[in-house]
Chain A
Amino acid sequence: MRRRLAACLATCAIRFAAGQDAGSALPSYVGSGTCLECHALGRPERPCSIEAIPAHEKSYRALAREEAEDIAVLTGTVDLPRESLLCLGCHATSTDLGPRWTRPSFDITAGVQCEACHGPGSLHAEARQHVRDGAEPPPPAGIQPGDREGCAACHRKRPSHDEVLQRGWRLPNTDRRYKTPVNLATSPDGSRLYVVCEHADSLVVLDPKAGSIVREVAVGRRPNDVAVSPDGKRLFVSNRFSRSLSVIDAASLQVVHEVPVGDDPHGVLANPSGDRIYVLNTGENSISVIDARSFREVRHMASGNGPWSLALRPDQRSIAVTSVRPLVCGLGEPHRSEVTVVSTGDDLVTQRVMVADANMLEGVTSVPGRDVVLFTLMRTKNLVPITRLAQGWVVTNGLGVLSGDGRLDQVLLDEPNRAFPDPVDVAASPDGRLAAVTSGGADEVVIVDIEALLDAISSSTPESRAEILPNHLGTSSRFVKRRIQVGANPRGVVFSPDGCFVYVAEALDDSVAVLDARSSSLVRRIGLGGPAKVTALRAGERLFHDARRTQGRQFSCRSCHPDGHVDGLSFDIEADGLGLHPVDNRSLRGIFDTAPFKWEGTNPTLDRQCGPRFAVFFTRLDPFTPVELDALVRYVSTIERPSNPHRAPDGLNLQQRLGKAVFDRVATNTGREIPRVKRCSTCHDGAYRSAASIQNVGTTMWFDAPLDLSEMDLHDDYSYGPLGAAYFQDLVSIDRSFDVPHLTNVYSSPPYLHNGAAASLEEIWTRYNLYERHGTTHDLTRRQLNDLVAYLMTL
Chain B
Amino acid sequence: MRPQLGASRGLLLASSVLGLGMQGSPGPSAPRMLVTLVPARGCDEAQGPAHDREPARDWEKGGPLPDGSRIVLLDLEKPSAGAVPLTAEWLAAGRADLSDDGERFLFVGRRGPGDAFQVYEASLAGGEPRQVTHRTGDCLEAIYLSTLFTIDAERPEPRICFRGVAEDGVSSLHTCRLDGGDERRITFQPHGAASPLLLADGRLLFVGSLSPAPSASTGLFTINTDGTDVQAFAAVEAGAFRTSPCETPDGRVIYVEERAKGTAGSALLSVSGIRSRRSRQEILRVSSGQLRDPAVLPDGSLVVSWRPDSAGSTFDLFRLDASAAEGLEKLYSTDAWNEIQAVPIHSRARRPGRSSVVDERASHGFLYCMDAFLWDLEPGQRIPAERARQVEIIAAGSETAQERVLGTFPVEQDGSFYLQVPARTPLRLRLLDGEGRETRAMTSWIWVMPKEARGCIGCHEDPEITPPNRHTQALRKPACEVKR
Beta-carbon nearest neighbor of A396 in chain B: B466
- Cβ 8 A contact of B464, one of A385, A472, A552, A709: A472
Contact with B along A201-225 (1 / 0, CB 8 A): 0000000000000000000000000
Contact with A along B139-153 (1 / 0, CB 8 A): 000000011011100
Contact with A along B440-475 (1 / 0, CB 8 A): 000000000000011101000011111111111111
Bound CA–CA A720/B462 (angstroms)? 35
B475 and A579 form a contact (CB under 8 A): yes
**Residues 189 to 207 of chain B near chain A (Cβ within 8 Å):** 201-202
Bound CA–CA A384/B471 (angstroms)? 6
Pick from A265-273, A532-540, A616-624, A654-662 the stretch touching chain B. Answer: A616-624
Q: Nearest Cβ in chain A — how far from B159, in angstroms?
A: 12
B278 and A474 form a contact (CB under 8 A): yes
A623 and B469 form a contact (CB under 8 A): no
Bound CA–CA A575/B356 (angstroms)? 12
Residues of chain B within 8 A of A417, CB atoms compared: 201, 273-276
Task: Tell me whether B221 is interfacial, beta carbon within 8 Å.
Answer: no
Given contacts A384-B455, A418-B274, contact A574 B470 (CB under 8 A): no
Task: Tell me whether B415 is interfacial, beta carbon within 8 Å.
Answer: no
Pick from B55-63, B294-302, B476-484 the stretch touching chain A. Answer: B476-484
Residues of chain A within 8 A of B475, CB atoms compared: 385, 572, 578-580
Given contacts A473-B465, A474-B278, contact A622 B355 (CB under 8 A): yes
Q: Nearest Cβ in chain A — how far from B478, in angstroms?
A: 5
Residues of chain A within 8 A of B52, CB atoms compared: none
Given contacts A416-B274, A551-B202, contact A622 B463 (CB under 8 A): no
Bound CA–CA A214/B463 (angstroms)? 51
Residues of chain B within 8 A of A612, CB atoms compared: 149, 151, 355
Q: Nearest Cβ in chain B — how far from A179, in angstroms?
A: 30
Bound CA–CA A709/B481 (angstroms)? 13
Residues of chain A within 8 A of B463, CB atoms compared: 391, 416
Count A-B pairs with CB separation below 8 Å.
151
Q: Nearest Cβ in chain B — how far from A568, in angstroms?
A: 14
A387 and B274 form a contact (CB under 8 A): no
Beta-carbon nearest neighbor of B357 in chain A: A616
Q: Nearest Cβ in chain A — how far from B424, in angstroms?
A: 18
Bound CA–CA A578/B473 (angstroms)? 12
Given contacts A621-B355, A710-B478, contact A393 B149 (CB under 8 A): no
**Residues 349 to 371 of chain B near chain A (Cβ within 8 Å):** 352-357, 366, 368, 370
Contact with B along A126-147 (1 / 0, CB 8 A): 0000000000000000000000
**Residues 202 to 258 of chain B near chain A (Cβ within 8 Å):** 202, 224, 229, 231
Residue from B202, B224, B352, B469 with most neighbouring chain A CB atoms (10 Å): B469
Q: Nearest Cβ in chain A — how far from B40, in angstroms?
A: 41
Task: Tell me whether A615 is interfacial, beta carbon within 8 Å.
Answer: yes
Task: Tell me whether B418 is interfacial, beta carbon within 8 Å.
Answer: yes
**Residues 123 to 163 of chain B near chain A (Cβ within 8 Å):** 146-147, 149-151, 156
Residues of chain B within 8 A of A393, CB atoms compared: 455, 466-467
Contact with B along A719-750 (1 / 0, CB 8 A): 01000000000000000000000000000000
**Residues 420 to 454 of chain B near chain A (Cβ within 8 Å):** 453-454
Given contacts A474-B278, A622-B156, A622-B352, contact A391 B466 (CB under 8 A): yes
Given contacts A393-B455, A709-B478, contact A473 B355 (CB under 8 A): no
B453 and A385 form a contact (CB under 8 A): yes
A620 and B478 form a contact (CB under 8 A): no
Residues of chain B within 8 A of A472, CB atoms compared: 462, 464-466
Q: Nearest Cβ in chain A — how far from B129, in angstroms?
A: 28
A388 and B151 form a contact (CB under 8 A): no
Bound CA–CA A354/B286 (angstroms)? 56
Bound CA–CA A390/B465 (angstroms)? 11
Pick from A192-200, A374-382, A504-512, A596-604 the stretch touching chain B. Answer: A374-382
Main secondary structure of the interface of A (DSSP, over half): loop
Q: Nearest Cβ in chain A — how far from B167, in angstroms?
A: 34
Beta-carbon nearest neighbor of A464 in chain B: B380
**Residues 388 to 410 of chain A near chain B (Cβ within 8 Å):** 388, 390-393, 396
Residues of chain A within 8 A of B366, CB atoms compared: 387, 578
A interface size (C-beta, 8 A): 56
Bound CA–CA A662/B418 (angstroms)? 46
Task: Tell me whether A250 is interfacial, beta carbon within 8 Å.
Answer: no
Contact with A along B375-392 (1 / 0, CB 8 A): 000001000000000000
Bound CA–CA A384/B356 (angstroms)? 19
Residues of chain B within 8 A of A586, CB atoms compared: none
Bound CA–CA A613/B202 (angstroms)? 19
Given contacts A417-B273, A613-B151, contact A334 B470 (CB under 8 A): yes
Residue from B278, B357, B466 with most neighbouring chain A CB atoms (10 Å): B466
Task: Tell me whether A335 is interfacial, beta carbon within 8 Å.
Answer: yes
Bound CA–CA A198/B101 (angstroms)? 41
Residue from B357, B453, B471 with most neighbouring chain A CB atoms (10 Å): B471
Residues of chain B within 8 A of A390, CB atoms compared: 229, 231
Q: Nearest Cβ in chain B — how far from A776, in angstroms?
A: 32
Q: Nearest Cβ in chain A — how far from B162, in angstroms?
A: 22
Contact with A along B249-292 (1 / 0, CB 8 A): 00000000000000000000000011111100000000000000
Residues of chain B within 8 A of A615, CB atoms compared: 149, 355
Bound CA–CA A393/B472 (angstroms)? 14
Q: Nearest Cβ in chain B — how far from A112, in angstroms?
A: 44
Bound CA–CA A381/B455 (angstroms)? 13
A578 and B355 form a contact (CB under 8 A): no
Beta-carbon nearest neighbor of A711 in chain B: B478
Contact with B along A606-639 (1 / 0, CB 8 A): 0000001101110111110000000000000000
A357 and B469 form a contact (CB under 8 A): yes
Bound CA–CA A468/B457 (angstroms)? 13
- Cβ 8 A contact of A578, one of B229, B231, B354, B418: B418
Beta-carbon nearest neighbor of A549 in chain B: B352
Residues of chain A within 8 A of B356, CB atoms compared: 616, 620
Beta-carbon nearest neighbor of B152 in chain A: A612
Bound CA–CA A616/B356 (angstroms)? 5
Q: Nearest Cβ in chain A — how far from B4, in angstroms?
A: 41
Residues of chain B within 8 A of A463, CB atoms compared: 380
Given contacts A617-B357, A619-B355, contact A384 B470 (CB under 8 A): yes
Beta-carbon nearest neighbor of A714 in chain B: B476
Bound CA–CA A580/B370 (angstroms)? 16
- Cβ 8 A contact of B469, one of A379, A474, A617: A379
Residues of chain B within 8 A of A412, CB atoms compared: 466
Q: Nearest Cβ in chain B — how far from A357, in angstroms?
A: 5
B465 and A468 form a contact (CB under 8 A): yes
**Residues 305 to 338 of chain B near chain A (Cβ within 8 Å):** none
Given contacts A381-B467, A384-B455, contact A578 B368 (CB under 8 A): yes
Q: Nearest Cβ in chain B — how far from A388, in angstroms?
A: 5
Residues of chain B within 8 A of A334, CB atoms compared: 469-470
Bound CA–CA A428/B109 (angstroms)? 60
Contact with B along A548-575 (1 / 0, CB 8 A): 0001100000000000000000001011
Residues of chain B within 8 A of A416, CB atoms compared: 274-277, 463-464
B466 and A616 form a contact (CB under 8 A): no
Residues of chain A within 8 A of B147, CB atoms compared: 622
**Cβ contacts A to B, 13 pairs, < 8 Å:** A332-B471, A335-B469, A379-B466, A383-B469, A384-B467, A416-B276, A417-B275, A418-B201, A472-B464, A472-B465, A616-B151, A620-B354, A623-B355
Q: Which chain A residues have a beta carbon within 8 Å of chain B's beta carbons?
A: 332-335, 357, 379-385, 387-388, 390-393, 396, 412, 415-418, 463, 468, 471-474, 477, 551-552, 572, 574-575, 578-580, 612-613, 615-617, 619-623, 703, 708-710, 714-715, 720
Given contacts A380-B469, A617-B357, A720-B476, 16 further A-B pairs with CB under 8 A are A334-B469, A381-B466, A384-B467, A387-B368, A387-B454, A390-B231, A391-B467, A393-B455, A416-B274, A417-B273, A472-B462, A473-B464, A473-B465, A473-B466, A474-B464, A622-B146
6 closest A-B pairs by CB: A579-B475, A392-B466, A615-B355, A387-B455, A474-B464, A387-B453
